[in-house]
A = this chain, B = another copy of it.
Amino acid sequence: MATRRTGNDRESVLIDATLTCIAREGISAATVRNIADYAGVTNGLIRFYFKSKDGILQAAYRRFLERLFEAAHGTIDSDMTACERLERYLLANLSPPIVTADSLLLWANFLPLTHYDDAMADIRRHWYTRTTLAFRDLIHGALEEHGHAPSDTELHRLSVAVNGLIDGLWIEGSLSTETLDIDELQAIGLDATSRLLDIPASPSPAR
């Protein structure tokens, strides 16, 4: 028998086991028995901590998105200049652990579920809103620092463009971790962003 643990601890292990399982074998292989195997417990225990399989999948999706968000925003300090914050944010989004095969696989495995299941859709909406708003503010700050005062429409369009760029580069980078190295990916991302926003690239890239 697995050594006995306090509730939150075991619950956390089970959630991580779910993420590992999905990243390695895909959502179809994420059965209660397989997840239990990854966690080193027996299948019945999952129903002790979660009221259904859907429950553990939702918890896993929440943790995944939260980590993704934190991996990017955790690198930002409020005492940086707006441009520094934007640059840090971009660099974080173009390097591990965000740019990894695992994170892209988790994202792709979860995404369809948000289209067939309302609870999953809510989770995605929640984090999508947080991310989008935060990103918009970052861009707004950087533009102001360079004397630009964009209208709401302009700001929206620029946000969509740069956000799309970063997402696209994230996918390209994650799908070809061998042929495209991180330094180049970051250089491409920073350069492209400075062109899109019409602000000069930072003189000394923090790499």
The yes or no answer to A45 lying at the interface (CB within 8 A) is: no
CA of A169 to CA of B167, assembled, Å: 8
Task: Please determine whether A108 and B112 come into contact, CB atoms closer than 8 angstroms.
Answer: yes
CA of A37 to CA of B28, assembled, Å: 21
Q: Is the interface of A mostly helix, strand, loop or mixed?
A: helix
Residues of B within 8 A of A164 (CB): 165-169, 171-172, 188, 192
The yes or no answer to A116 lying at the interface (CB within 8 A) is: yes
Residue among B167, B180, B196 making CB contact with A192, cutoff 8 Å:
B196
The yes or no answer to A25 lying at the interface (CB within 8 A) is: yes
The yes or no answer to A161 lying at the interface (CB within 8 A) is: yes
Q: Closest Cβ of chain B: how far from A61's Cβ, in Å?
A: 14
Residues of B within 8 A of A115 (CB): 26, 101, 105
CA of A169 to CA of B160, assembled, Å: 7
Q: Would you mind naming 16 contact pairs between A and B with Cβ atoms under 8 Å apart?
A: A26-B113, A26-B115, A27-B28, A27-B112, A28-B28, A108-B108, A108-B111, A108-B112, A157-B184, A157-B187, A157-B188, A161-B188, A163-B168, A163-B172, A167-B172, A192-B196
